[in-house]
Structure 1
Amino acid sequence: MKTTLCYLEQEDCYLMMHRIKKKDDINEGKWIGLGGKFIGNESPEDCLLREIKEEINVELLEYVLRGVITFINQNNYTETMYLYNATKFLGDVDLNCSEGELAWVCKDSLMNLPIWEGDKYFLEKLIKGEPFFTMKLCYNGDKLIEAYCNDEKIK
């Protein structure tokens, strides 16, 4: 499966979604950025722009592909996620979302939220403004068992 994930940035905060509304959600109870699954022959940018428009009704004006993350789960699940950061958008963010509760969260508070363990590795890189990277996060269910960044083992 291919997906996008975007962290909209404003005043040292990221727009985060607390996934508490959707049934049978793999991310249930977690805080994540915005995005979703590719449809048809979408490019990563097509998917990103569509998902952001659907979820919060804004048009992204400035966004950067920051990394590509491969998630592997021992339950025979593999996902390739294109990770973006956006700093400019047109429109007022609609905080009413059918998938979860939205909130602007200060960067220095992110690691205290219930997030996926592997997300901490790529969020740290986003916050520090590090250049493009690739990452592989290997899970057994909800437990992160291995992590690699640019082919170097980090867990």
Structure 2
Amino acid sequence: MICKGKEKSVTGLSTLCYIEKDGKYLMLHRTVKKNDVNKDKWIGVGGHFEADESPEECILREVKEETGYTLTSYRFCGIVTFVSGNGVTEYMHLFTADGFEGEPIACDEGELEWVDIDKIESLHIWEGDKIFLRLLAEKVPFFSLKLVYDGHDGLISAVLNGKEIKNKERKESEHAEKYRTDEIGK
């Protein structure tokens, strides 16, 4: 926990991985935990850091624990800063993987399902996840994405590599669509 004067904020470190096979991502439908910020949402596989872990060690452990798979080929894609709007900020280390071995296991956090990549945006996912999933689909080099929520499901703003691409007050930034297509890989 980090304290700033009388105001308290909680900071977390986590990882998330989208494992790809045959044009599909392995998605986790979070249905088990009652007090889960991701309850009923579809997300990739991952979790929080344990003491002394690097991002790579954390994602390898989390994928093994949640899926039974051992990653053999993976890529660190970016850092996503989630500002929840209720005092919690999460720094998520985002990975993709296209190589793994092992036998799948049942996940104690929900159901695992291979989903066509082009159908993922139609699932019940966080609005901000749609942004980084597009970046992953476009194979954008390492990026930093800040997502600010309203304390619930509403995405207030998104900042990609220091440039605002969404602001709820002004809807989308005027250059957001151009930025997505022209500058996203710069």
Q: Compute the TM-score of the two structures, normalised by the length of structure 1.
A: 0.97
Q: C-alpha displacement at 1:22, in angstroms?
A: 1.5
Q: C-alpha displacement at 1:83, in angstroms?
A: 0.2
* Corresponding residue for residue 136 of structure 1: 146
* Corresponding residue for residue 107 of structure 1: 117
Q: C-alpha displacement at 1:57, in angstroms?
A: 1.0
Larger Rg: 2
Measure the CA separation in 2 of the matches of 1:48 and 1:62. Answer: 12
* Corresponding residue for residue 135 of structure 2: 125
Q: What is the number of equivalent residue pairs in this alignment?
A: 154
* Corresponding residue for residue 63 of structure 2: 52
Q: C-alpha displacement at 1:109, in angstroms?
A: 0.2
Q: C-alpha displacement at 1:93, in angstroms?
A: 2.4
Counterpart selection for 1:80 from 91, 95, 102: 91
* Corresponding residue for residue 175 of structure 2: none
* Structure 1: gaps of 5 or more residues: none
Q: C-alpha displacement at 1:50, in angstroms?
A: 0.6
Which whole-Å deviations, capped at 9, do the CAs of 1:73-114 have from their partners, x for residues lacking one?
2211111000000000111222x1110111000011011000
Measure the CA separation in 2 of the matches of 1:122 and 1:57. Answer: 25
* Corresponding residue for residue 154 of structure 1: 165
Report the 3-state secondary structure (helix = DSSP H, G, I; strand = E; otherwise coil) of the residue aligned with 2:38: coil
In structure 1, give the amino acid aligned to 2:128.
G
In structure 1, give the amino acid aligned to 2:116.
C
Counterpart selection for 1:12 from 8, 23, 26: 23
Measure the CA separation in 2 of the matches of 1:113 and 1:74. Answer: 23
Q: Percent identity?
A: 50
| Alignment partner of 1:90 is 2:98 | no
* Corresponding residue for residue 43 of structure 1: 54
- Runs of 4 or more off by more than 3 Å in structure 1? none
Measure the CA separation in 1 of the matches of 2:24 and 2:137. Answer: 10
Relative contact order higher in (CA < 8 Å, ≥ 6 apart) = 1
| Alignment partner of 1:30 is 2:41 | yes
Measure the CA separation in 1 of the matches of 2:159 and 2:13. Answer: 19
Measure the CA separation in 1 of the matches of 2:114 and 2:97. Answer: 14
